[in-house]
Amino acid sequence: MKNKGYLICVFLLIKLVSFAAIREIDSVYKVPTSPFWTFIMSIDSLEGRIMTSKQYNTIPTDNSFYKNNVQEILKVGKTIYIHIAQTGIVFKLDKQEDSFLLFRRIDDTYNINYNIDGNTFLYKDDIYCFGGYGFWKSNGHLRKFNFVDKEWDIVPVNKEVYSSGFNWFSQKEGRIYLPFEREMNAGVKDQVKGIKRNMAYYLDLATNNWVSLGLLSDPLIDITKDDFINGAAVPTSEGYLYIENDQVYLFDFLNNQVLKSNNSSLNQFLARRKSNMYLFIYKNKIYSYDPIAAKFLIIKYDRSEFELKTYPIWTEDQHVFWYIVAGCLFVSTIIVTILLIRKSVKNKIQNAKLKMLKTKNIQQAFVGTELTLIELLLNANLNEQKVEIHQINHVLGIKDKNVGLQKKVRSDVMNAINDKYQFISQSNKPLISSVRKEDDKRFFEYFITPSEIKKIQQIIQA
Each residue's pLDDT tens digit, 280-299: 999 899 999 999 999 999 99
Q: Please give the full DSSP string across 8-21, using - where no structure is assigned.
A: HHHHHHHHHHHHHH
Give pLDDT tens digits for 367-400.
Answer: 778 888 888 888 888 888 888 888 888 888 888 8
Give pLDDT tens digits for 237-247.
Answer: 999 999 998 89
CA of 359: how far to CAs of 238, 351, 373, 420, in Å?
A: 85, 12, 22, 15
Query: Distance between CA 453 and CA 445 in Å, rounded?
Result: 17
Domain identity same for 184 and 81: yes
Query: Distance between CA 194 and CA 185 in Å, rounded?
Result: 6
DSSP 3-state assignment of 164?
Answer: coil
Angle 186-82-116 from CA coordinates, rounded to 5°: 0
Domain identity same for 401 and 345: no
Residue ranges of E strands in 65-167 = 71-76, 79-84, 90-97, 100-105, 119-123, 126-134, 137-146, 151-155
* Number of domains observed in the structure of the chain: 3
Domain identity same for 329 and 449: no
The reply to whether 20 falls in a domain is: no
Cut 0.75: pTM above it: no
DSSP state, 52?
P
Domain identity same for 136 and 264: yes
Q: What is the pLDDT of residue 314?
A: 97
Domain identity same for 116 and 210: yes
Q: What is the pLDDT of residue 346?
A: 62
Q: Does position 9 have pLDDT exceeding 50, yes or no?
A: no
The reply to whether 245 falls in a domain is: yes
Q: Which domain holds residue 335?
A: 319-349
Domain identity same for 277 and 377: no
Domain identity same for 106 and 224: yes
* Those residues with Cβ within 8 angstroms of residue 118's Cβ, 6 or more apart along the chain or in another chain: 129, 130, 131, 132, 143
Q: Does position 197 have pLDDT exceeding 60, yes or no?
A: yes
- Percent of the chain scored above 90 by pLDDT? 49
Domain identity same for 172 and 311: yes
β-partners of residue 92 are: 81, 104
The reply to whether 3 falls in a domain is: no
The reply to whether 158 falls in a domain is: yes
The reply to whether 165 falls in a domain is: yes
The reply to whether 204 falls in a domain is: yes
The reply to whether 200 falls in a domain is: yes
The reply to whether 16 falls in a domain is: no
DSSP 3-state assignment of 35?
Answer: helix
Domain identity same for 338 and 371: no
Q: What is the pLDDT of residue 350?
A: 55
Q: What is the pLDDT of residue 127?
A: 97
Query: How many angstroms from the chain centroid is the CA of residue 460?
Result: 69
Q: What is the CATH number of the domain that holds 172?
A: 2.120.10
Domain identity same for 335 and 191: no
Q: What is the pLDDT of residue 269?
A: 95
Q: What is the CATH number of the domain that holds 414?
A: 1.10.10.10
Domain identity same for 225 and 369: no
Tell me what the mean pLDDT of segment 79-103 comes to.
Answer: 95
Contact present, 435 and 400 (Cβ < 8 Å) = no
| Alpha helices (runs of H) in 24-168, residue ranges in sequence order | 35-42
Domain identity same for 333 and 213: no
